[in-house]
């Protein structure tokens, strides 16, 4: 532990003696007094996807608000998530972010132990605790547009999805994607494969498994694969490059983050999940108000969207925008479940 129990107790006492107007954040909007903690999900910084988007958000807060931060990554099976949150809390960090759905149980448990600390979970179910805010995303809406893009691009009439697991978040990606494909062309065949069962997070760090799964799909004639699988996505990109086919990334603009020109050439687009925005806005709000409220991001506020890097969508962007506006206007309702 980085702070002795006695010091932590003194901090609680001082907090109790503070006036009601003495919020934890710097009320003038500056974050110079904030020590922010961030615990990544499996894969950590460098996954070129979900975690790296969170990293971009906290770095923006450092550059624009003047915060300081500490980041930690879990072990390969993610079994020490709770320990990471406790380490950050004992180190005096506030607010503390847990990146990923898998933090939902550990964060609520730890938040009860540190009621004076603001916790923010990116993805996952709502929390009943006053000091836990949850940032969620309409993954199904963004994925719908990826389905449309796949349907308008495929030449074989067969598309696929390789998800990290069978959990609720990835199921929403899959549901939206399938609805988008069917809206654009109900005659297209869709193959759905997952790299791990249930909520098992190992599928988000299995590039080799993703590559094998993608190779099998491409060999069968599928020519566009949507891959919401975190750090595993690179395996699908590699298989796409070998097959001369398309892949669709997730979370970040993976055309920009993949770091390999040969792989860039096969990334049709990426479903943008603006974790960076959620992290930055949460820190900014905490600096202003001393607390953070849960928020749901969707297409209407550009919390989800799609990347146009590479120019591969140029011929279908108008159609994608039409579908996007219909979703925003409520003319198309996208379900998060099948």
CB 305 within 8 A of CB 269: no
63 lies in which domain range?
A: 25-138+276-299
Same domain, 108 and 83: yes
**Is residue 39, in this structure, part of any structural domain at all?**
yes
Same domain, 94 and 144: no
**Is residue 52, in this structure, part of any structural domain at all?**
yes
pLDDT tens-digit readout, 96-149: 999 998 898 999 999 999 999 999 999 989 999 999 999 999 999 999 999 999
pLDDT tens-digit readout, 204-262: 999 999 999 999 999 999 999 999 999 999 999 999 999 999 999 999 999 999 999 99
**Is residue 228, in this structure, part of any structural domain at all?**
yes
**Is residue 337, in this structure, part of any structural domain at all?**
no
Number of domains in the chain: 2
pLDDT at 16: 38
pLDDT tens-digit readout, 23-33: 444 444 567 89
Q: Can you give the CATH number for the domain in which 186 is found?
A: 3.40.50.2300
pLDDT tens-digit readout, 178-192: 999 999 999 999 999
CB 201 within 8 A of CB 230: no
**Is residue 262, in this structure, part of any structural domain at all?**
yes
**Is residue 194, in this structure, part of any structural domain at all?**
yes
pLDDT at 57: 97
Confidence of residue 10 (pLDDT cuts 50, 70, 90): very low
Same domain, 201 and 265: yes
pLDDT at 77: 86
- pTM to 2 decimals? 0.86
**Is residue 179, in this structure, part of any structural domain at all?**
yes
Same domain, 64 and 172: no
**Is residue 226, in this structure, part of any structural domain at all?**
yes
Same domain, 176 and 43: no
pLDDT tens-digit readout, 53-87: 999 999 999 999 999 999 999 998 889 999 999 99
């Amino acid at each position: 532990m980085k702070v002795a129990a006695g010091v932590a107790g003194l901090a609680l006492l001082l907090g109790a003696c503070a006036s009601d107007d003495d919020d934890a954040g710097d009320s003038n909007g500056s974050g110079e007094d904030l020590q922010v903690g961030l615990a990544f999900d499996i894969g950590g910084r460098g996954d070129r996807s979900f975690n790296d988007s969170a990293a971009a958000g906290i770095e923006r807060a450092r550059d624009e608000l003047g915060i300081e931060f500490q980041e930690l990554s879990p072990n390969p099976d993610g079994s020490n998530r709770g320990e990471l949150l406790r380490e950050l809390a004992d180190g005096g960090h506030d607010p503390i972010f847990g990146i990923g759905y898998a933090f939902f149980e550990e964060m609520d448990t730890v938040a009860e132990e540190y009621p004076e600390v603001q916790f923010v979970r990116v993805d996952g179910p709502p929390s009943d605790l006053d000091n836990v805010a949850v940032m969620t995303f309409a993954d199904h809406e963004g994925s719908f547009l990826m389905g449309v893009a796949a349907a308008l691009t495929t030449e074989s009439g067969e598309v696929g999805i390789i998800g990290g697991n069978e959990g609720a978040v990835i199921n929403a990606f899959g549901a939206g994607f399938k609805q988008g494909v069917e809206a654009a062309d109900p005659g297209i065949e869709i193959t759905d494969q997952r790299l791990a069962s249930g909520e098992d997070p190992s599928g988000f760090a299995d590039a080799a498994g993703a590559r094998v799964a993608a190779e099998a799909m491409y060999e069968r004639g599928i020519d566009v694969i949507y891959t919401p699988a975190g750090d595993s996505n690179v395996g699908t990109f590699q298989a796409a490059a070998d097959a001369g086919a398309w892949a669709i990334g997730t979370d970040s603009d993976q055309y920009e983050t993949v770091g390999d020109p040969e792989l860039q050439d096969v990334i049709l687009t990426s479903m943008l999940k603006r974790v960076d925005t959620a992290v930055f806005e949460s820190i900014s709000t905490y600096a202003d108000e001393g607390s953070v409220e849960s928020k749901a991001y969707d297409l209407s506020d550009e919390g989800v969207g799609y990347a146009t890097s590479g120019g591969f969508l140029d011929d279908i962007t108008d159609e994608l925008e039409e579908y996007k506006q219909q979703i925003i206007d409520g003319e198309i309702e996208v379900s998060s479940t099948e």
